[in-house]
Amino acid sequence: MNNKSDVLIIGAGGAGLTAALNAKISGASVKVLTKEYPTRSQTCMAQGGINAALGNAGEDSVEAHIANTLKSAHGEADEEAVRFMCSEAINAVEWLDSIGVCFSRTEEAKIAQRTLGGASASRACYAQDYTGLKILHTLYDRCQKEGIEILNEKYLLDLLRDEKGCVCGAQVLDIRSGEIEIHRANAVILAGGGYSRIYDKNSTNSTASTGDAIAIALRSGAEVIDMEFVQFHPTALKNSSILISESARGEGGYLLNSKGERFTDELAPRDIVSRAINDEIQKGEDIFLDIRHLGETFIDEGLPQERKLAKLYENIDPVFELIPIRPVAHYTMGGIFVDNKSQTTLKGLFACGECANHRVHGANRLGGNSLLEIVVFGKEAGLNAAKYAIENSFEDKTQSDVTGDSFFEDLKEFTNEIDFYEKRELVGDMFYDKVGIVRKEDELQNAAQEIAELKTQLCKMGVSDRSKEYNTNLIEFLEFRNILDVCEAVVSGAIERKVSCGAHYIV
């Protein structure tokens, strides 16, 4: 195996694959590592759509897209970055169309668009309710066409630094063999996804969204910002936390309480709707999504996945019954600080996707802007990392594999007195209660103390499975350590931000 490349990308979701394609086009050699397989990432779960002011379904403009995004961000977004993203949106969708994404279409042979919350127009381009899946798979096919090397089931342990402190590669665990590998590169792009699973089962996300890239960036000394901004999606299935897409409300679905009353504007931004639902739940109400009036034909055409999921996980058919829902953690706005070249505060380290913070979502992300972000800034990260890598060729560098972290070695000595799976669930529930939709100063302090204490107990939570090959018990423990580091950043950010803002609501 050639363990050197110009650009090394950690993560093979939509952001990582877009970065890979663009780095490759720039003439850089590229290698992508993923802890899963490329088509299994969180991107495949995005349903609603990707925003671009194409104006295919009524009047729209880039300016309106910018205004909606900024409004939802509550002053916490960078206007220049938002302007860039919204302006590039049209090119991004045209590019996705050109490589074969199977978007839904109108009778007039245009890409179909629908309205999501907080949008002044029908702006979200979609592929039925499989938008993320179809974008991700098409990006994957494109990477195959370009011969991009993607290595599956490699878990990031640490970043390598050269004597000047520049990031020059990564230390990873090959999950299958249990061996540690060193992958050197001139530039590293982190595209490892968000951290919604710090809320454990109170999240719509894949079990893989454990904030690994952010935790490792933090431990390596990169700046991480706005971690307290966590978006709670209003409509997850009550028992399983499986997402029911915002498009269900965009297409006309209602939110009802136990009395059958509507209690909020269903298409307000997600933070507002989630709080309205939370308030009702606090009053003792059960909350339901009602799409019965849309009719079976419409539901099967526009929301087929929603019907399937509700039947399977809640045992109800939304054509005839109300869907029980509650808000759960869905998207994490905070992440690794990057400049307008997607470069982190560490030289040689770039970031894109949900783990990065390009400051386009601010305190609350608009539906349809996350798929947009990964394509627009995935491209920027790929282009800029390739440029940096080519300009900073490492042939003349001495090969020093400095990794600052000995945890992986240390854990072999850890005792097995405390069950980390129990603690993982406890952290998730505790964070949902205390660092969730509505926060209180004293509860935040309390949560911070609990996390600090758990961190000191890690040495008693050693893994019981001692096998070398494909040890998921070990991987989940390493993820749990990352979860705790991310939790610490989230709760300290929440304590420092004394005033409510978007998704961070403090009373």
Partner 1 sequence: MKISIKRDEEFVEYELNAEGETLLWALTKIKTTQDNTLSFSSGCRSSVCGSCSMRVNEREVLACSYKLQDGDRVEPLRNTRVIRDLVVDMDKAYSFNAKAKAWLDPIVKNAALNHEDEKINELQSDCILCGSCYSACPVYSVNEEFLGPFALTRAWKYESDKRSSDTTQMIDTIQTNGVWDCTLCNECTLVCPQNISSKADIEKLRSKSAMAGHSDPSFAQSFGGGFGFDGSPSF
318 neighbors 187 (Cβ within 8 angstroms): no
DSSP state of 56: B
262 has catalytic annotation: no
Q: Which stretch binds partner 1 (CB under 8 A): 135-143, 341-349, 361-369, 486-494?
A: 135-143
Q: What separation, in Å, do the N-terminal and C-terminal C-alpha atoms of the chain show?
A: 55
Residues counted in the chain: 507
Cβ neighbours of residue 266 closer than 8 Å, sequence gap 6 or more: 117, 249, 253, 254, 255, 273
Distance of CA 195 to the CA centre of its chain: 7
Q: Which stretch binds partner 1 (CB under 8 A): 62-70, 132-140, 317-325, 438-446?
A: 132-140
Nearest to partner 1 of 175, 444 (CB atom): 175
94 binds partner 1 (CB under 8 A): yes
Q: Which of 176, 283, 341, 460 binds partner 1 (CB under 8 A)?
A: 176
Nearest to partner 1 of 260, 304 (CB atom): 304
Phi first, then psi, for residue 170 (nearest 5°) are -145, 150
Cβ 25 to partner 1 shortest distance, Å: 12
Cβ 490 to partner 1 shortest distance, Å: 23
Cβ 242 to partner 1 shortest distance, Å: 5
For residue 490, give both structure tokens: 């989230």
Dihedral over alpha carbons 380, 381, 387, 393 (to 10 degrees): 180
463 binds partner 1 (CB under 8 A): yes
407 binds partner 1 (CB under 8 A): no
Cβ 36 to partner 1 shortest distance, Å: 6
Cβ 239 to partner 1 shortest distance, Å: 10
Q: Which stretch binds partner 1 (CB under 8 A): 65-73, 272-280, 471-479, 489-497?
A: 471-479
- Restricting to residues 201-230, which ones interact with partner 1 according to CB under 8 A? 206-208
91 binds partner 1 (CB under 8 A): no
472 binds partner 1 (CB under 8 A): yes
Greatest alpha-carbon span in the chain: 72
Q: Which of 58, 59, 106, 417 binds partner 1 (CB under 8 A)?
A: 106
Cβ 73 to partner 1 shortest distance, Å: 27
Binding mask 290-319 for partner 1 (x = CB under 8 A): ---------------x--xx--xx-x----
For 283-320, give one letter per residue: b (16+ CB within 10 A) or e: eebebbbbbbebeeeebeebbebbbebbeeebebebbe
1 binds partner 1 (CB under 8 A): no
User: Which regions of 20-166 does DSSP assign to beta strands (E)?
Assistant: 30-33, 50-51, 113-114, 124-125, 149-151, 154-161
Q: How far apart are CA 312 and CA 327, in angstroms?
A: 19
Cβ 152 to partner 1 shortest distance, Å: 6
Q: How far apart are CA 358 and CA 340, in angstroms?
A: 8
Cβ neighbours of residue 479 closer than 8 Å, sequence gap 6 or more: 210, 212
Closest CA to 128 of 114, 140, 107: 114
Q: Which stretch binds partner 1 (CB under 8 A): 127-135, 218-226, 401-409, 488-496?
A: 127-135
Binding mask 420-459 for partner 1 (x = CB under 8 A): -xx-------------------------------------
Cβ 171 to partner 1 shortest distance, Å: 22
Region for residue 314 given its phi and psi (left: phi exceeds 0; alpha: psi -120 to 50; beta: otherwise):
alpha
Strand (E) or helix (H) holding 490? helix 472-496
242 binds partner 1 (CB under 8 A): yes
Q: Which of 114, 142, 270, 424 is catalytic?
A: 270
Binding mask 7-46 for partner 1 (x = CB under 8 A): -----------------------------xx-xxxx-xx-
Q: How far apart are CA 268 and CA 113, in angstroms?
A: 18
109 binds partner 1 (CB under 8 A): yes
464 binds partner 1 (CB under 8 A): yes
Nearest to partner 1 of 228, 246 (CB atom): 246
For residue 448, give both structure tokens: 């911070």
353 neighbors 191 (Cβ within 8 angstroms): yes
CA angle at residue 481 from 476 to 483, to 5 degrees? Answer: 90
Cβ 412 to partner 1 shortest distance, Å: 16
The residue to which tokens 């933090």 are assigned: 218
Q: How far apart are CA 165 and CA 348, in angstroms?
A: 9
Pairing of strands 30-33, 4-10: parallel
Q: Which residues bind partner 1 (CB under 8 A)?
A: 36-37, 39-42, 44-45, 94, 97-100, 102-110, 112, 127-128, 130, 133-134, 137, 140-142, 144-145, 152, 176, 206-208, 240, 242-243, 305, 308-309, 312-313, 315, 421-422, 463-465, 467, 469-473
Give the catalytic positions in this structure: 270
